[in-house]
Amino acid sequence: MFRHALLNGVVATAVLLGTHGAFAENRLALVIGQSAYRSVPKLPNPANDAKAMSQLLSDSGFEVSAAADLSQTEMRAQVGDFAAKVVAKGPDTVALVFYAGHGLQIDGENFLVPVDVDPKREADIPLQAVRLNDILNTLTSVPSKMRILMLDACRNNPFPGISNTAGGGLAIVDAKIGAPGTFLSFSTSPGAVAEDGAGANSPYTSALLLAAKEPGSIEDTLKRVRVSVNRATEGRQTPWDSSSLTDDFRFVQGSAAAGPAAAPKLASARRSVEEWKRDLQGKPVETANELIVADGTDEAYEAFAVLYAATPRGLQARDWLDRHRRMVAWNKAVIINTAAGYRAFLAQYPDSDLTATARKLEERLRNRPNAAAVVATPVGVPATNVALAAPTCPCNVQPQKKIDTPPKKRADPDPPKRVDRQPPRRLREPDDDVVVIRRVPRDYYEPAPGPSIGIGIGIGGGGYGGGGHQGRSRGGY
């Protein structure tokens, strides 16, 4: 028996160690754990989660850079240094970032929270925290094989000054409208909060530590994580992911990876609500629940919510579906970013955790001038298409000339009087001094000599598929 156990241990160790040479690509990981927050209660688990994930990723062939309890400046520096390492390794590199700590959404944009923040109002968060879009844009700006972000965030908002006005959880980020080759995994679904957990690790990290050791693609791994977390939290929390991967990725090399499964997978057709009803009909509620959680589509949840409406799981499925549809509508309003778009969202969802934010953004944009309204209709374009055809910048529009009124000529100033260049002859005595009279030159400015001082201001920003008036995603759907 001891020999059998020892043999299993040797085989498992060989599989993990063999991953370093089994994968053709380079693997780099940045792991951040934020526990020691200064202005709010500390989080006990992120430090443990980061340590455990560092070990898992190292065993999976990653070169790991670990950092803990970072300030805003330190977090930005770590991301920049990590991007530089990716560049040094070359374009055939898998870049993975794991973050555990607080996360917030402000005005539809997601932020990761450094330990030194102390916000008194919503406007302080963009100044003190780190935009998720900035991290995504930094990683997509350097050549790499794929980018994987795993966020064990979305915990309860701990800042009393903004907890009543900011939306719950994180906003949708859609990897499909960003750079291809990106995989995003969140510890819970959009708009929901995640639990820190009663054990040494959070429910999300605990499930990931087990699921990643089993053979299979990253999509299969996260399906197992969704089911495990949903089961462990009795349906209160369900992880979510979004992918634009074009290559296969797996944490542990399995025997199937050498075959056809290693090739990029084609998107499978989504089943309709009626098809899901037929598949779920007659199954025990827990079995049916695990099927829809693993699938993660609206159609699966809709069918389950109808069939099992009288059960607690059915109520949870309906709540997940309603919240998910609300977050999709919110994502669209943020991407459009117009007063009309926010009014449409408020008309559809007049009473939600996003109502205050939507009203604020609608008020902010209500009086914004519409450039298309002041642009003349281009020749040959129907009036109904002016909004689409007109340029967004009226400064590029050439005004139409009036045919019946000739343009007025500008009045030229009086030309300067010509002066005879030949000076008048004058008689002088041989001993007279010669006096030359010159015109007074025109005034001009010449600064006094002194030190030169230069001031430069740079302002930049970026957007990725989701939050921040820029764009976002799905996960499980």
User: Given a cut of 60, is residue 185 above it in pLDDT?
Assistant: yes
Residues 113 and 175 in one domain: yes
Pick from 1-10, 216-225, 273-282, 352-361: least confident:
1-10
| pLDDT of amino acid 419 | 52
Q: How far apart are CA 185 and CA 150, in angstroms?
A: 5
Boundary residue ending a domain (303, 332, 365): 365
Task: Indicate the pLDDT class of residue 162, thresholds 50, 70 and 90.
Answer: confident
**Burial class of residue 132, CB neighbours in 10 A (0-12, 13-18, 19+):** buried
Residues 70 and 139 in one domain: yes
Pick from 17-21, 251-255, 269-273: least confident:
17-21
Is 140 part of a structural domain of the chain? yes
Task: Indicate the pLDDT class of residue 465, thresholds 50, 70 and 90.
Answer: very low
Secondary structure in 3-state letters for 424-453: CCCCCCCCCCCCCCCCCCCCCCCCCCCCCC
Q: How far apart are CA 203 and CA 195, in angstroms?
A: 7
Is 44 part of a structural domain of the chain? yes
Look up the pTM and report it: 0.73
Q: How far is CA 352 from the centre of its chain?
A: 23
| pLDDT of amino acid 367 | 75
Q: Are 84 and 136 in contact (CB under 8 A)?
A: no
User: Given a cut of 50, is residue 371 above it in pLDDT?
Assistant: no
| pLDDT of amino acid 1 | 41
Query: Which one, of 185, 184, 204, lies nearest residue 194 by Cα?
Result: 204
Highest average pLDDT, of 173-177, 182-186, 196-200, 446-450, comes from 182-186
Is 289 part of a structural domain of the chain? yes
User: Given a cut of 90, is residue 267 above it in pLDDT?
Assistant: no
Highest average pLDDT, of 106-110, 153-157, 228-232, 261-265, comes from 228-232
Is 81 part of a structural domain of the chain? yes
Task: Indicate the pLDDT class of residue 369, thresholds 50, 70 and 90.
Answer: low
Q: How far is CA 181 from the centre of its chain?
A: 15
Residues 204 and 285 in one domain: no
Is 216 part of a structural domain of the chain? yes
Task: Indicate the pLDDT class of residue 31, thresholds 50, 70 and 90.
Answer: very high
Task: Indicate the pLDDT class of residue 398, thresholds 50, 70 and 90.
Answer: very low
Q: Kind and range of the H or E element at 241? A: strand 240-243
Residues 107 and 63 in one domain: yes
Query: In sequence order, what are the beta bridge partners of 173?
Result: 466
pLDDT tens column, 285-329:
999 999 999 999 999 999 999 999 999 999 999 999 999 999 999
Pick from 203-217, 334-348, 363-377: least confident:
363-377
Average pLDDT over residues 157-173: 83
CATH number of the structural domain spanning residue 188: 3.40.50.1460
Residues 47 and 143 in one domain: yes
Task: Indicate the pLDDT class of residue 17, thresholds 50, 70 and 90.
Answer: very low
| pLDDT of amino acid 444 | 40
pLDDT tens column, 404-434:
555 555 555 555 555 555 555 554 444 544 4
- Its domain, for residue 346, covers 273-365
Q: Are 473 and 177 in contact (CB under 8 A)?
A: yes
Average pLDDT over residues 377-385: 39
Residues 37 and 172 in one domain: yes
Task: Indicate the pLDDT class of residue 259, thresholds 50, 70 and 90.
Answer: very low
Is 418 part of a structural domain of the chain? no
Is 217 part of a structural domain of the chain? yes
User: Given a cut of 70, is residue 16 above it in pLDDT?
Assistant: no
Q: Are 42 and 195 in contact (CB under 8 A)?
A: no
Residues 105 and 232 in one domain: yes
Average pLDDT over residues 246-272: 68
Q: How far apart are CA 217 and CA 219, in angstroms?
A: 5
Average pLDDT over residues 424-450: 47
| pLDDT of amino acid 78 | 98
The tally of domains found in the chain comes to 2
Residues 239 and 279 in one domain: no
Q: How far apart are CA 395 and CA 383, in angstroms?
A: 20
pLDDT tens column, 33-83:
999 999 999 999 999 999 999 999 999 999 999 999 999 999 999 999 999
- Where is pLDDT greater, at 82 or 1? 82
Task: Indicate the pLDDT class of residue 463, thresholds 50, 70 and 90.
Answer: very low
Residues 249 and 296 in one domain: no
Boundary residue ending a domain (365, 385, 409): 365
Residues 147 and 208 in one domain: yes
Task: Indicate the pLDDT class of residue 156, thresholds 50, 70 and 90.
Answer: confident
Boundary residue ending a domain (240, 262, 284): 262
Mean predicted lDDT score pLDDT of the chain: 79
User: Given a cut of 70, is residue 248 above it in pLDDT?
Assistant: yes
Residues 247 and 278 in one domain: no
Is 307 part of a structural domain of the chain? yes
| pLDDT of amino acid 408 | 56
Residues 111 and 232 in one domain: yes
